């Protein structure tokens, strides 16, 4: 019967374990010195060696002729422990044996001496799945176990293990295995199995496995069945629903040139082909990461501004988990791409630079008559997907000639000069009258905002949704922002932002917009005051000052030009 690769090449000694050198060294030394404990907690991502190391450790502590912390493999105990009929090394799946009765049975059996080995070892996998009652039943035995018993608890979710349990164990954190180590291991296995595979495919398998060696071996096994021991990159792409590097580069052109019409069409096409769009985004993130690293370490010239690559990776890494939780992932992904283009292309058209295959234009001297300033047309053509007017050929020619010379415009804006004072008072008053029930109700109202993210108010709604509701009083909603740039953008247009928020949530709340660091600072002080019962000394209701408006004249030529090019899109940013 065929045996899968991850089972066939499962480590049977500490020397076979990949990527967990510090843990292996510690366990070896404890065996050599005879100082190993009675309870261990192994935790870390899946496929990193927790169960394999547990079994190796169980066999090694029972070896009669142990050498340098490794089992000899020849003594009676080794032959017994390697066999399938060994009754002294017991592996239990807590996911399916998570009740009090199962744990009590373990406790009763633990009082019995081992049948043939020196130590009876219980390996409880996915221990976080145990019920509260089961943990309580296990607690006393972990605290005062019989001398012949060793418990090894393994989990991928250590925060769900009660502190009373973890504090009675030696804790070992299994890290994700480095890509280079996974690639080396796969190379050795492919050599033994006579599998032909190229380096790019091996690296992609290692990347997709996210630090889990078992996942990479399972994927290699699947590819082997599909390709008959001759694995090519094209077959790898076809099997796993990925796209080629050429497709990624073509999509990058659509994205960084702001061509939303074709961008959305391409996403729809990929989705219709059955391509997993989350995997597609991860491919983009990987490609852009490589470009960024090579730009800074090898001075590689990029086709577009490096800040576009950086902003994309920061933005999608932050939101990728929300995509997975969304009821309609495709719609959410569409919205994310539109928001990225709106924030990074339409709002900053002067930053879109095509550094290759662009004809150089002759520089013309700037005339200094009547403040007439020459502005070159952007080398990157940006298509406005919201425009419903189609220009005829004559109008297009006239527009091209007029774009060469732009008259300097004065942009007059109103700014609230005491905005910091207003936000500080609102934050104080929200904490004084904050209510958890109101907060939960307000969080539910955010669905109304999400449902209207494609409306004409979409850009402001998306900026609002970047904030997290931290506190709600009858009058005030406190939103904290990880990115201060978005917070300041909302503050600069606070009246309009508040109007749109209340329009879709059907409330009459005032908004308090603060940074995440500011919220942590003030909320920590509030909690401390609650504990010391002196809240009223520091947090009392204050009268909110009236906003003081001041006109700000902004002689921004580029913004004036952008307004003429893109109209409402720029004005709404």
Q: Among 194-203, 206-215, 558-567, where is mean pLDDT lowest?
A: 558-567
Roughly what angle, to the nearest 10 degrees, separates helices 277-298 and 306-325? 150
> In whole angstroms, what is the distance from residue 47 CA to residue 156 CA?
10
Mean pLDDT computed over 3-17: 87
| Confidence check: pLDDT of 142 > 70 | yes
pLDDT recorded at residue 79 = 87
pLDDT of residue 478: 93
Does pLDDT of 513 surpass 90? yes
d(CA 167, CA 462): 44
pLDDT average, residue stretch 214-231? 84
- Write out the two tokens for 246: 């050429």
Q: Kindly give the interhelix angle for 245-256 and 329-341, rounded to the nearest 10 degrees.
A: 50
Tokens standing for residue 319: 């939101």
* pLDDT score of 337: 92
Query: How many other C-beta atoms are found inside a 10 Å radius of the C-beta of residue 570?
Result: 19
Predicted confidence (pLDDT) at residue 331 exceeds the cutoff of 50: yes
Q: How many CB atoms lie within 10 A of CB 541?
A: 10
Starting at the edge strand that comes first in sequence, how are the strands of the sheet with 510-515 ordered? 468-472, 476-481, 510-515
Higher pLDDT, 390 or 246: 246
The CATH architecture of the domain made up of 5-173 is: 3-Layer(aba) Sandwich (3.40)
Contact by Cβ (8 Å): 125, 97: no
pLDDT at residue 113 greater than cutoff 90: no
What is the arithmetic mean of pLDDT over 197-208?
Answer: 84
Mean pLDDT in residue range 425-447: 85
A 10 A CB-CB count for 550 gives 10
Q: For the residues 355-361, what does the mean pLDDT come to?
A: 43
Q: Report how far residue 156's alpha carbon sits from residue 45's, in angstroms, rounded to the nearest whole number.
A: 5
Q: What is the DSSP string of 146-199?
A: -TTEEEEEEES-GGGS-HHHHTTSEEEEPPPPPHHHHHHHHHHHHHHHT-EE-H
- pLDDT value for 25: 92
Domain residue ranges in the chain: 5-173, 179-240, 245-351, 372-410+563-571, 415-554
Which of 5-14, 246-255, 533-542 is least confident?
A: 533-542
pLDDT of residue 360: 44
What pLDDT was estimated at residue 352? 44
pLDDT band at 66 (very low <50, low <70, confident <90, very high): confident
Strand-by-strand arrangement of the 39-43 sheet: 89-93, 120-125, 149-155, 39-43, 170-173
**How many Å separate Cα 138 from the centre of its chain?**
35
Rounded Cα–Cα distance for residues 284 and 392 (Å): 37
pLDDT class of 234 with cuts at 50, 70, 90:
confident
pLDDT confidence of residue 347: 66
What average pLDDT does the segment 237-247 reach? 78
The Cα–Cα gap between 292 and 310 comes to 7
- Widest Cα–Cα separation across the chain: 101
pLDDT at 454: 66
- Tokens for 500? 């749109």
The stretch 32-39 carries a mean pLDDT of 88
Question: Rounded to 5 degrees, what angle do the CA atoms 344, 342, 452 make?
Answer: 145
Confidence tier at 252 by pLDDT (50, 70, 90): very high
The predicted model scores a pTM of 0.54
CA 475 to chain centre: 34
The percentage of residues in the chain with a pLDDT greater than 70, rounded to a whole number, is: 83
* Averaged pLDDT score across all residues of the chain: 80
The percentage of the chain sitting over the pLDDT mark of 90, rounded to a whole number, equals: 19
Locus of tokens 């939780």: 325
Asked which of 63-67, 230-234, 487-491 is least confident by mean pLDDT, the reply is 230-234
Residue 74 Cα distances to 60, 71, 80, 114, 286, angstroms: 12, 8, 10, 20, 47
CATH of 179-240, one of 1.10.8.60, 3.30.300.30, 1.10.1740.10, 3.40.50.150: 1.10.8.60
Supply 353's token pair.
């630079």
Q: In this predicted structure, what is the pLDDT of residue 530? A: 83
């Amino acid at each position: 019967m065929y045996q899968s690769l991850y089972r066939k090449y499962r480590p049977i000694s500490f020397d076979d374990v990949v990527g967990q050198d510090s843990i292996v060294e510690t366990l070896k030394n404890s065996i050599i010195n005879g100082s190993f404990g009675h309870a261990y907690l192994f935790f870390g991502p899946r496929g990193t060696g927790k169960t394999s190391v547990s079994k190796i450790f169980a066999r090694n502590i029972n070896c009669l002729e142990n050498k340098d912390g490794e089992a000899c493999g020849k003594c009676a105990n080794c032959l017994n422990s390697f066999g399938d009929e060994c009754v002294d090394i017991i592996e239990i799946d807590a996911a399916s044996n998570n009740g009090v009765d199962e744990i009590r049975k373990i406790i009763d059996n633990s009082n019995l001496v081992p049948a043939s080995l020196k130590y009876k070892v219980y390996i409880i996998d996915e221990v976080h799945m145990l019920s509260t009652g089961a943990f309580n039943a296990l607690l006393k035995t972990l605290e005062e176990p019989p001398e012949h018993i060793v418990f090894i608890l393994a989990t991928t979710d250590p925060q769900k293990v009660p502190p009373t349990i973890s504090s009675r164990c030696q804790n070992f954190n299994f890290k994700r295995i480095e890509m280079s180590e996974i690639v080396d291991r796969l190379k050795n296995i492919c050599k033994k199995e006579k599998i032909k595979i190229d380096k790019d495919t091996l690296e992609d398998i290692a990347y997709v496995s996210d630090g889990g060696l078992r996942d990479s071996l399972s994927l290699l096994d699947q590819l082997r069945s599909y390709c008959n021991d001759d694995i090519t990159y094209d077959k790898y792409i076809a099997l796993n629903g990925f796209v080629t590097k050429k497709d990624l580069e073509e999509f990058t052109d659509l994205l960084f040139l702001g061509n939303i019409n074709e961008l959305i069409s391409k996403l729809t096409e990929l989705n219709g082909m059955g391509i997993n769009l989350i995997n597609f985004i991860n491919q983009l993130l990987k490609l852009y990461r490589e470009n960024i690293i090579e730009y800074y370490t090898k001075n590689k010239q990029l086709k577009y501004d490096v800040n576009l690559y950086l902003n994309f990776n920061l933005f999608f890494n932050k939101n990728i988990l929300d995509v997975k939780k969304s009821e309609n992932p495709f719609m959410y992904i569409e919205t994310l791409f539109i928001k990225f283009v709106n924030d990074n292309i339409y709002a900053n058209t002067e930053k879109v630079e095509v550094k290759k295959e662009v004809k150089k234009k002759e520089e013309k001297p700037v005339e200094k008559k009547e403040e007439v300033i020459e502005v070159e047309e952007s080398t990157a053509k940006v298509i406005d997907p919201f425009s419903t007017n189609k220009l005829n050929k004559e109008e297009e020619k006239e527009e091209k000639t007029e774009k060469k010379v732009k008259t300097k415009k004065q942009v007059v804006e109103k700014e609230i000069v005491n905005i910091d004072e207003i936000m500080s008072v609102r934050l104080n008053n929200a904490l004084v009258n904050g209510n958890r029930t109101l907060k939960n109700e307000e969080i539910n109202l955010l669905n109304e905002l999400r449902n209207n993210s494609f409306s004409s108010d979409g850009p402001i709604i998306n900026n609002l949704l970047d904030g997290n509701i931290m506190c709600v009083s009858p009058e005030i909603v406190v939103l904290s922002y990880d990115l201060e740039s978005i917070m300041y953008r909302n503050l600069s247009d606070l009246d309009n932002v508040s109007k749109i928020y209340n329009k879709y949530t059907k409330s009459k709340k005032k908004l308090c917009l603060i940074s995440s660091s500011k919220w942590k600072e003030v909320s920590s002080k509030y909690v401390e005051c609650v504990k010391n019962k002196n809240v009223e000394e520091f947090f009392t209701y204050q009268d909110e000052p009236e906003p003081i408006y001041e006109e700000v004249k902004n002689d921004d030529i580029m913004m004036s030009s952008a307004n003429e090019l893109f109209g409402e899109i720029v004005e709404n940013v």
